[in-house]
Amino acid sequence: TSNDDNNNNNNEDESDDDDENNKDDPITLLEQKLHNTLIQVEMMGQNLTLVKLTSENVVELYKEDLAETVEECATKEAELQGEIASLKQEAQERTAQHEAVLERHMLEFHRLAQLVVTAIPGIGPGESLVAGDAILEAQAELDHIEHARLSKVQELQDTVLSLQTKLRLTTEQYEQQIKEKDASFEELQTDFEHLDQLLSNR
C-alpha cells in the first residue's frame, strides 16, 4: 500500500510538472495570446457594429429633421406670401374706393366752379359768395380725402414691405439651417462610410 501511494504521488508530481511546462511552452503562450486577440477583435467588431447602427439612426433622425425644416420653411413662406397678397388686394380695393369718392368730389367741385365763372343773369354778390364758400369747402374735403388715401396707401405699402423683409429674413434663416443640417449630414455620412469600411476590412 505504501508503494502504491508513492507511485500516485509521483504521478501527480509529474502531471503538475507537465502543466507547468505547458504554461511556459511558447506555442501554448502564442495560442493563448491569439485567443485573447480574437476575443478583442470580436468585441471591437461588436462595438463597431453598434456604432454603425447608432450612426444610421442619427442619420435618419437628421434626414427627418431636415425634411421637417424644409416643410416648415415652405409653409411659413406660403403664409407670408398669402398675407402679402391679401394686403395688396386690400390696398387696391381701398385705393379704388378712395378714387371713386375723389372722382365724385371732383365732379362736384367743377360743377360749383362752373357756377361761379359762368355769367348767370341776375346772380348777386351774396350768391357768388355762397358758391365760393362751397367750392372752398369742397376743396378742403378733397384735400382731406386725398391725404387720408395717400396715408392709407403708404401704411399698406409699409406693411407689405415689412412682410417682404420678414419673408426674406425667414427664408435666409431656414436656408442657413438647411445648409448647417446638410453639412452635419455629410459629416455623419462620411463617418458612416468610414465605419462601414472598417467593418468590411474586419
- Domain ranges for the chain, please list them: 55-201
In tens digits, the chain (202 residues) has pLDDT values of 555 555 555 555 555 555 555 556 777 777 787 777 778 777 777 777 777 777 677 777 777 877 787 787 778 778 878 877 887 788 788 778 877 877 787 777 777 666 655 544 554 444 455 556 666 776 777 777 778 778 877 887 787 788 778 877 877 877 787 777 777 777 777 777 777 677 676 5
Q: How much is the pLDDT for 13?
A: 53
Predicted TM-score (pTM) of this structure: 0.40
Q: How much is the pLDDT for 125?
A: 47
Give dist(CA 66, CA 72) in Å, integer.
Answer: 10
**C-alpha cell read off for 48:** 463597431
- Of 1.25.40, 1.20.1070, 2.30.30, 1.10.287, which CATH number belongs to 55-201? 1.10.287
**CB-based contact 91:159 (threshold 8 Å):** no
Which residues are within 8 A (CB) of 56 and not within 5 positions of it... i.e. 6 or more apart? Answer: 192
